[in-house]
Amino acid sequence: MRKAAERRSNILRLLDERGQVNVNDLSKKMGVSEVTIRNDLDKLEKNGLLIRAHGGAFKTSNTALPVSEKKSLNAEAKRRIGKRAVSLIEEEDSIILDSGTTTQEIANNLGQFKKLTVISNALDIINNLVQYQHIQLYVPGGFVREFSMSMIGPMAERNFRQLYCKKLFLGIDGIKANVGVFTHHMEEAYLNQIMIDIAEEVIVVADSSKFSKSGLAFIEGFDKIHKIITDTEIDEDTVRMLEKNNVEVLTV
């Protein structure tokens, strides 16, 4: 019993350090079977100490769920946000679609354009758009982060710096009043900052649940953001805060 308690304590310590853990890695590190690790994670989840995900777990304070699980969260609001975002895109525009389930909804509605340039670091978005002959698709490359299906790292950063676009559609994990927007991972935050630097207009797409969350990694303050598209559940105080920071709020 003591060994199990020590093992679970170590799992929580690793979660605090990394934000997420992998069953296979924990099994090797602690010298026990994957079945034992899964049982440990299940027990810790029942006690509200972590969030289970396919192949591993996340901190309860870090809601960086895999893309496959994020899709079901606030799905209808994300669909409306995606369609509203598309209405801001013009023929012959050049746009960046950041990784995320809300930006994926934008990609789902781009088939009607006759000429469009899209830059993206998200594998699911790339796979979606490659079917359209009239969309010129740029893929900066990089290291693939499995949970977010995004490409990050020095290669992505270097290649993004060579580009320029009219509009950036940025997905985020949290918004803090009078501070700015956040994500859960430092590498993604740094890449997002580069995207912001090369974009003429920055448009954040986020359902209203993001306004009650934060993240580990700061992306940018509101002075770099032009618009936020969200759903009608956003509260009036938050709208006033954003408008005070010169951010145009579009609700759907």
Distance of CA 86 to the CA centre of its chain: 19
Specify the pTM. Answer: 0.74
d(CA 204, CA 172): 7
Mean pLDDT, range 144-168, rounded to an integer: 90
Q: Is residue 250 within 8 Å of residue 232, measured between CB atoms? A: no
Mean pLDDT, range 42-60, rounded to an integer: 77
Domain 2-62's class? mainly alpha
- pLDDT surpasses 80 at 231: yes
- For 240-251, the pLDDT digits (tens) are 999 999 999 999
d(CA 200, CA 119): 14
Say what percent of the chain tops pLDDT 90. 65
- pLDDT surpasses 50 at 40: yes
HSE of 136 in the Cβ direction (CA atoms, 13 Å)? 9
- For 92-141, the pLDDT digits (tens) are 999 999 999 999 999 999 999 999 999 999 999 999 999 999 999 999 99
Average pLDDT value for the chain:
89
Question: pLDDT category, 62, cuts 50, 70, 90?
Answer: very low
Helix pair 2-18, 23-30: axis angle to 10 deg:
130
Beta-strand relationship, 199-205 and 165-171? parallel
In sequence order, what E strands does the chain have? 20-22, 50-53, 56-59, 94-97, 116-120, 135-138, 143-145, 150-152, 165-171, 174-176, 180-183, 199-205, 217-220, 227-230, 248-251
70-251 under CATH 3.40.50.1360, yes or no: yes
pLDDT of the residue at 187: 87
Locate tokens 């992998």: which residue?
Answer: 22
Mean pLDDT, range 64-75, rounded to an integer: 56
Q: What is the DSSP letter of 181?
A: E
- pLDDT surpasses 60 at 72: no
Segment of 5-9, 23-27, 206-210, 223-227 carrying the highest mean pLDDT: 223-227
Residue of 93, 96, 101, 92 lying closest to 121 (CA atoms): 96
Residues forming a β-bridge with 116: 135
pLDDT of the residue at 147: 61
- Between 228 and 45, the higher pLDDT residue: 228
Alpha-carbon separation of residue 59 from 32, 74, 143, 156, 164 (angstroms): 22, 21, 23, 27, 36
Segment of 12-21, 65-74, 185-194 carrying the highest mean pLDDT: 185-194
pLDDT of the residue at 170: 98
Residue of 127, 81, 87 lying closest to 110 (CA atoms): 87
Domain coordinates of the chain in residue numbers? 2-62, 70-251
Q: What is the DSSP letter of 210?
A: G
User: In a 3-state reduction of DSSP, which class is residue 218?
Assistant: strand
